[in-house]
Amino acid sequence: MAETLIPLDVEHAKGIIQLSRAVGWSFDLADAKTLLSAGHAFGVIDDKNELIATATAIHYDHRLASLGMVIVHPNHQKKSLGKRVTKACLQSLQINQSMICVATEAGFPLYKKLGFEPLHTIYKYTTNHVMAPKERIFRSFKEEDIKPMIELDAIATGSNRSHFLKKRFKQAEKVLVKYDANGQMIAYGAAIQGEHMRVIGPIVAKTQQDFCLLSQELAVDAKTPMRIDVPTDRYHDELVTIGFTIDATPWMMGYGRSDSPYEENYHYALAAQAYG
């Protein structure tokens, strides 16, 4: 049986959705198109031209990339296809560019063998309902907010994610911001409403209070289950109080780096597990 490695583009979005459903994941068309258009994507097709494995490498800038959407069809596992597509993503890295990924339990051994090292735990919270905030202190995003938003994000993540963020915001149900009295942006956050799940993130805030209130405001009116992924457990009490419960604790892993990309003095939620 011929199994061929190929680059992927947005024309493969429907194939990715079908593949993700085969392993119980919930990508929708907008998610697939963002992943395919924001970076480098690779897949393996069989002799029927059907997609049986995928991986994506989103290159934020010359310093950092994120590995995601590593999927192998259940009927084609134990053939090293996950290794094959992941190595293709690693080969797309520039000199001195590091890569991060959020590892599922099944993926952890593969990434470890390929040179990734555990950095820290990611805390994944889910809920069907959150408590309404007592007040609304954030305003909706305007076009003039994009530059200060990208600058704030770059400080918190250590990389310029402008290309990715612009594409992600086109998917967003909500994008909210907050400025201080001096006109400096001090918090932003987005909520991405999918067919089956609302993802809360990315979020960056200078204070823990703003982070927690922003999480609540982005989640409050969802008609579907919700998820937020954070790189620390320091928000646990606040998130539980408004209605979230801890769902999983996967590892953030790094290739070519031994430290977290996130600035510890800022408060951060991932864009999603596939993006970091």
Is the Cα torsion angle 245, 250, 254, 260 positive or negative in sign?
A: positive
Residue 151 in this model has a pLDDT that exceeds 90: yes
Q: What is the mean pLDDT of residues 169-197?
A: 94
Q: What would the pLDDT profile of 70-123 be if each residue is shown by its tens digit?
A: 999 999 988 999 999 999 999 999 999 999 999 988 899 999 999 999 999 999
Greater model confidence, 224 or 28 = 224
Residue 228 in this model has a pLDDT that exceeds 70: yes
Residue 276 in this model has a pLDDT that exceeds 80: no
Name every residue whose Cβ is closer than 8 Å to that of residue 66 and which is 6 or more positions away in sequence: 39, 57, 58, 60, 99, 100, 101, 274, 275, 276
Q: What would the pLDDT profile of 102-111 be if each residue is shown by its tens digit?
A: 998 889 999 9
**Pairwise CA distance, residues 48 & 149, whole Å:** 45
Name every residue whose Cβ is closer than 8 Å to that of residue 21 and which is 6 or more positions away in sequence: none
- Strand 139-140 vs strand 174-179: parallel, antiparallel, or unpaired? antiparallel
**Pairwise CA distance, residues 205 & 189, whole Å:** 8
Residue 1's pLDDT band, with cuts at 50, 70 and 90, is low
Give the CA distances from residue 264 to residues 122, 151, 203, 218, in Å, rounded to whole numbers and listed in that order. Answer: 14, 16, 14, 23
Q: How many angstroms from the chain centroid is the CA of residue 113?
A: 23
Name every residue whose Cβ is closer than 8 Å to that of residue 131 and which is 6 or more positions away in sequence: 216, 220, 241, 242, 243
CB 93 within 8 A of CB 57: yes
Of 131, 141, 138, 142, residue with least CA distance to 221:
131
Q: What would the pLDDT profile of 3-54 be if each residue is shown by its tens digit?
A: 899 999 989 989 999 998 998 887 788 888 888 888 899 999 998 889 999 9
Q: Two tokens at 17?
A: 């959705």
User: Which residue, chain included where needed, has tokens 């929708």?
Assistant: 28
Q: What angle do CA 64, 70, 75 make, to 5 degrees?
A: 170
3-state SS class at 217: helix
- Please report the pLDDT score of residue 203 as a whole number: 97
Q: Two tokens at 119?
A: 């950095």
